[in-house]
Amino acid sequence: DVKVTQSSRYLVKRTGEKVFLECVQDMDHENMFWYRQDPGLGLRLIYFSYDVKMKEKGDIPEGYSVSREKKERFSLILESASTNQTSMYLCASSFTRGGGSLYGYTFGSGTRLTVV
Amino acid sequence: KQEVTQIPAALSVPEGENLVLNCSFTDSAIYNLQWFRQDPGKGLTSLLLIQSSQREQTSGRLNASLDKSSGRSTLYIAASQPGDSATYLCAVINTGGFKTIFGAGTRLFVKA
């Protein structure tokens, strides 16, 4: 069964800490994504990557960075965690079909991050 | 600009009832449409993906339809069960590029 694995289900971090969220997929997908999900705001795209070492900003990239050194791994970095980054973080992957369109998404199980 | 609306926002039904969840979108130039299920505190689980050239997809008790001309997709759940209680989201994947718009979801509660 194909999978997207997020390394932590729950994290509690202190304000100002540097936080790493890891995501690994085993489907050889070229595209990977980080979303955050908040009540009343839905899913919002933070960053995505369409190839190794490539990254693109999504709708809310401020306060975040990403790293994709290997095809299967996509990391989200909170440079200096703040309380407004308390959220559910979802990683997803996808492959590209004709015309450069995404076929569909496979999501990980999510990381609930609390910044205190 | 693509907008995706899911109605109703919440739904409570007795066990055994057949039900329909709706997803509307404003721009018909879509590539695919995907339905997900999300349990509280968990990630999104893909239920069905409909390509733009298809009219419907079926998996077990689930059937999803797509009508691009009217900007609508429906998810039909037959003989609902308490285990179907979850939030159901639709995602509209636009043609070319990486833009995907997710609906806000319909929260379903199936009473035993």
Contacts of B111 (CB under 8 A, 6+ apart): B12, B13, B14, B15, B82
Contacts of B96 (CB under 8 A, 6+ apart): A99, A100, A101, B31
Closest approach of B49 to chain A, Cα-based (Å): 7
User: Which residues, given as ranges, of chain B have pLDDT below 70?
Assistant: 97
**Is there a contact between B93 and A104 if contact means CB atoms under 8 Å apart?**
yes
**Is there a contact between A104 and B49 if contact means CB atoms under 8 Å apart?**
yes
Residue of A nearest to B104 (CA): A42
- The closest CB to that of A109, out of B42, B46, B97, belongs to B42
Beta bridge partners of residue B94, listed in sequence order: B30
Phi and psi, residue B84, nearest 5°: -80, -10
The amino acid present at A71, given as its one-letter code, is K
Average pLDDT of the segment spanning A50-75 = 96
What distance, in Å, lies between the first and last C-alpha atoms of chain B? 41
The amino acid present at A17, given as its one-letter code, is E
Closest approach of A44 to chain B, Cα-based (Å): 9
Span A17-52, pLDDT tens digits: 999 999 999 999 999 999 999 998 999 999 999 999
**Is there a contact between A102 and B102 if contact means CB atoms under 8 Å apart?**
no
Closest approach of B69 to chain A, Cα-based (Å): 20
Span A84-100, pLDDT tens digits: 999 999 999 998 876 66
